Structure 1
Amino acid sequence: MDYQVKVENFEGPMDLLLFFIQRDKLNIYDIPIAHITKEFLDYMKLMDMMNIDLGGEFVYMASLLMKIKAKMLLPVSDEDVEQIEDPRTPLVQRLLEYQQYKKVGEQLQEIYSDHAVHFPIGQEMTYDASSEKNINPVQNVTLFTLSSIFQELINRLPDVNPYELHEEPIQLDEQIAFLIGEINSTKRLSFTILIPILKTRLRIVVTFMAILEMLRTNQITIEQNEPFGELILMRAVA
């Protein structure tokens, strides 16, 4: 019996889990944990046979899946059914947030590609997408919240008119410097002040990338004191 294997390139364990869920048409809110654990471990065995080091994050996810599987095999009395949280719930929440993050990332890349054709020859907009992998938003603000706000801003703006092109040189490091200047002058930069300044889709996209980079390098923190409340950018405490 021939066994044909196609090796996919996954950014991390969450990316791999989403692939299995989409490929097998699984309900993300009711993940068959035994099935998904077997698929995950089989993939790790395949990579090991090919001498491909997946890294500690895959090992951690494998142990987490097996732990969840073990918990779900434990007997639960009828009285405790409604009181005990589904062991899969934290994983489902992480998958949903990662799914949204990935979706927004793809939309931003489409916008970036659309605007790239409008740059004059020689004008560069540099950005390393791999720098987003270890982003950890702080102060009660999730990446889902941040990306949703910027997506809403983008949707409010009119589409680019290809017959009304204006040269708008803008680079990631320039927006980082701009944000640092604004935060230094105000100490606490609110989005209500920042939003009117960002008049084009391109500037919103690059500003979003700049904020992600500054979060990754611990230059800033973002604060939200209540759900749907004002977002505040501040310099990180050294």
Structure 2
Amino acid sequence: MTEAIAAPASAPVEARARVYGEPLVALPPDLYIPPDALEVILEAFEGPLDLLLYLIRKHNLDILDIPMAELCRQYMEYVDRIRAKQLELAAEYLVMAAMLTEIKSRMLLPRPPREEGEAPAEDPRAELVRRLLEYEQIKYAARQLDELPQVGRDLHLVHVYLEKVAVARLPQVSVADLAAAWEAIVARARRNMHHHVTREELSVREHMSRVLRVLSVEGYKAFSELFDPAAGVPELVVTFLAILELAKQRMIEITQAEVYAPIYVKLAEADPDEREPESESE
């Protein structure tokens, strides 16, 4: 009797990846991977001057005395690499390569003897050195600016709405302004003055209440409109004392829009009905 031999179980195949939670064992046959998809660029330069400055700093060369032969060789190696893969990016590098070749050729040519008193010939590398120094300064300044805090990268602006009513600050009314306004009112009253021989008792408190009633109805009033020139000087004096007393007790405010403008009187922000005049003058 022949015994059946069980076939060994196949080893589990390790999944290459998971798509939507399902293991992917084999790559799809229609999967396309570009040739340069996994290419890693270790060094990227912003232009030919950036590449030249990198080569000079990498090999610790003197920028004022550049060895053109070695610099041209290393520069052309990089240009050949990028020209083989990305020809459209190598155009400006080829212009710089032509300039380097010209400088190298001019340095290899023999120089004629210099006569006495003749200025020395200009170094063919002078223009290149000038451009490299200017580019290095600009690059350093750009790095310094990039290190400054930037909105959106290092910090974010916070806008907070504050409900606030702006109150215009009016000029302060001085004592001289009040005196001048008072003299104008008295002068106008004297022109309309009539001779009366009577004894009249005038109450400052009563006039204070009258001024408050007028202001509570109209809100504000011109300083001169609070006086009645036809009532006589005693009436004007008592009204003026009432206005001063109300201002002292901060029940009214005396303001003007600008210097030498008409003076106005208005109620203070506190409710005048909640405060009674503190004193009475006869």
* Bin for the TM-score computed over the shorter chain: 0.3 to 0.5
Q: TM-score, normalised by structure 1?
A: 0.45
Relative contact order (C-alpha < 8 Å, sep 6+): which is higher? 1
Higher helix share: 1
Q: TM-score, normalised by structure 2?
A: 0.38
Structure ID, larger Rg: 2
